[in-house]
A and B are shown apart, each in its own frame.
Chain A
Amino acid sequence: MTARQFRKVLIANRGEIAVRIIRACREMGVGTVAVYSEADRLSLHVRHADEAYPVGPPPSRDSYLRIDRMLEAARKAGADAIHPGYGFLAESAAFARACEEAGIAFIGPGSATIALMGEKTSARRAAVAARLPVVPGTLEPLADDPALAREGERIGFPLMLKAAAGGGGKGLRLVARPEELEEAAARARSEAKSAFGDDRVYLERALVRPRHVEIQVLADAHGNAVHLFERECSIQRRHQKVIEESPSPFLTPELRERMGSLAVALVRRVGYVNAGTLEFLVDQERNPYFLEMNTRLQVEHPVTEMVTGEDLVKLQIRIAQGEKLPFRQEDLVQRGHAIECRVYAEDPDQGFLPSPGRILALRPPGGPGVRDDSGVYEGYEVPIHYDPLISKLVVYGYSRRDAILRMRRAVREYRVLGIKTTLPFFERVLHHPAFLSGDFDTSFVEQVFAEADRKRERPLEVAVAAAALAAFRERRFARLAGNPGSPSRSAWWECGLREGLRGGAGAP
């Protein structure tokens, strides 16, 4: 494979990850092409890109999941490569194949590898062949409810019901009892169908209080493969990660080394090229079990970038251009500590219900060691159609403690009004003793934290005072406005202030 330079990359995605990829391209001097659905004309990625083309109506199956429209936009723009981001078509073998056939470079692994690893049961079979330990369960997708019931019985409850094409927690259900299986399967199938266009499911034993640890890998087309250490992803809600960090406070150097070697072994065995992530569950005895491989960039890739100093998106592009990896395993060092908090447009006090709507005010944090990978801006309306992730707040510190203190500081600075977000929730998690000690597992949010959080002392008096002050000022201004002849200097001053208030606080 001879190296070439991309002139223009189409980003087949939206939101914060599209913005992230555009930034990498721009820093490399590569042209950027955005695509957008009718709901995303005003999205940040459209504003950041050099070019932007519409790809259809708001529902993702009519826009961001349309392979034909992506290729059409790429041809129209003259893009020579496509970056799929994560989600949508990122793990679609059909999309990668269509790109290959159209002579457009797909920034990711080859379509055959995606098909092999993207389908979770064949990935499990490949892992078994590469001598990786896997979570006990089925090695094939299950065709119907009787097969599910039969296998469920064999594996034993509780178990995890998973979409064969899954990822990002979609199409995933914890099933505690046999009688819940059918209903869970129906919901998982429908979720998987809408998220991935594939409704096949399989079963795995649910481990007791596992840790979720993943290994980042990179491989070029010249047979070089490395791992970039782990990310700890055990802070989850609804099986979706909300806080990630690297290094994991749970891994010993030996276990890190072992999991890294296992990951590279699988990468070599399947001839994997480009960036990928192997997800592992680690049980209480620190036994790792391969869970699945994500054949794409991960949401939480920035924590790896912070501790390794490498830019994963640029490396993805360079690998896709046919370049060799610029380092060997021994050149890579995991330095310091990084934490990511996913800022979701969700209401943590209402079971993390999505909270779409207009962002009235936005104050991102700044200062040393803080990175805000955002996909929104003040005045932007978070659409109801897509994932509610609006930003990823990432910090770097010399130690875990240092990083936690910095994250607390950054979360305090970060203010989003108009929609509910996970930010106040993070502020409280970052003070929880279990999080501070590093002694937590995937049940942390829903069990350990939720209980303490319900009993928390709330800053009611401050809130009431603030609300009363706002009401007082508003009524005073309204009265003054009704009496424009008022000669008092302070009345004019307050009327001036009122202009500012009227712009937003008064809007419904």
Chain B
Amino acid sequence: MIFDAAAGGRTIRVEVRGQDGRYTVVLDGRPLEVDARETGRHFLSILVGGRSYEAGIEKRPGGYTVVLTDDVVAVDLVEAARVAPARKVSGPARIAAPMPGKLVRVLVSPGQDVQAGQGLVVVEAMKMENEIKAPRAGRVKDVPAREGQAVDAGALLVVVE
């Protein structure tokens, strides 16, 4: 699972995979082997390379507040827009907003040819800008959304055929 995280003025791409308390956490491309377990409600005991952290985790809109011993850090977190595998090449691809937010930029216009993975629109949510990418190559058929518009999760943004 890949997240875009914003904390203390920095944005960090973070990937998490694993299970049963053993995870690989990739911070901006740097993989860390992490042992993470819940210790009662709201706490994670985290071991990284032998170092022990006890993080208090408070859920809040847009992410979490992480309470460490010497600091409290608000972390905004969104699951990075996934590039859907090109399962079906036929039929138009309807690209919808993955989260509620504001459409800050439209990068394409109808009739334009796009490559798979090319940015289509930018949605701002939880204080972060998220580029929504084309799931496959094709031609932009329609861009029903306008810049500056508020969009709900699932709102149709771009149709690529």
Residues of A within 8 A of B (CB): 349, 360-361, 411-412, 415-418, 420, 424, 427-428, 456, 458-473, 475-476, 490, 493-494, 497, 500-501, 503-508
Contacts and interface: CB of A to CB of B under 8 A. Distances in A.
B58 A465 contact: no
A503 B38 CA distance: 13
B153 to A, nearest CB: 15
Interface string B26-47: 0100001010101011111010
B75 interface: yes
Contact of B70 (A418, A424, A461, A508): A424
Contact of B73 (A460, A493, A500, A506): A460
Contacts of A460: 7-8, 10, 12, 73
16 contacts: A360-B58, A361-B43, A424-B72, A462-B53, A463-B71, A465-B46, A466-B46, A467-B75, A468-B16, A469-B23, A469-B36, A470-B57, A471-B3, A476-B19, A497-B38, A505-B59
Given A460-B8, A461-B27, A415 B56 contact: yes
B71 A504 contact: no
Contacts of B8: 458, 460, 463
Given A465-B32, A472-B16, A501 B66 contact: no
B73 to A, nearest CB: 4
A469 B70 contact: no
A464 to B, nearest CB: 4
B32 A470 contact: no
Interface of B: 1, 3, 5, 7-8, 10, 12, 14-16, 19-20, 23, 25, 27, 32, 34, 36, 38, 40-44, 46, 48, 53-59, 61, 63-64, 66-73, 75, 77, 79
A164 B128 CA distance: 51
Nearest to B54: A415
Contacts of B38: 497, 500-501
B40 A361 contact: yes
A361 B56 contact: yes
B20 A424 contact: no
Given A415-B43, A468-B77, A463 B66 contact: yes
A427 B67 CA distance: 13
A361 B42 contact: yes
B57 A464 contact: no
Q: State the majority secondary structure of interface residues on A.
A: helix
Contact of A465 (B25, B41, B61, B69): B25
A307 to B, nearest CB: 27
A416 B72 CA distance: 11
B8 to A, nearest CB: 5
Given A463-B68, A471-B79, 8 more contacts: A458-B73, A463-B66, A464-B5, A467-B64, A467-B77, A469-B34, A500-B38, A505-B57
Nearest to A431: B70
Nearest to B72: A424
A419 to B, nearest CB: 9
Contacts of A466: 36, 44, 46, 53, 55, 57, 64, 66, 75
A503 B41 contact: yes
Contacts, number: 149
A505 B75 contact: no
B10 A504 contact: no
A469 B40 contact: no
Contact of B67 (A349, A417, A461, A476): A417
A424 B56 contact: no
B64 A471 contact: yes
B105 to A, nearest CB: 25
A474 B48 CA distance: 20
Contact of B66 (A467, A472, A493): A467
Contacts of B79: 471, 475
Q: Which of A424, A468, A471 has the most CB of B within 10 A?
A: A468
Q: Which of B34, B38, B59, B63 has the most CB of A within 10 A?
A: B59
A471 to B, nearest CB: 5
Contacts of B36: 466, 469, 473
B56 A463 contact: no
Contacts of A473: 36
Nearest to B37: A497
A420 B67 CA distance: 9
A197 B15 CA distance: 58
A366 to B, nearest CB: 15
A265 B56 CA distance: 51
A467 B57 CA distance: 7
Contacts of B44: 466, 469-470
B73 A459 contact: yes
Nearest to B16: A472
A470 to B, nearest CB: 5
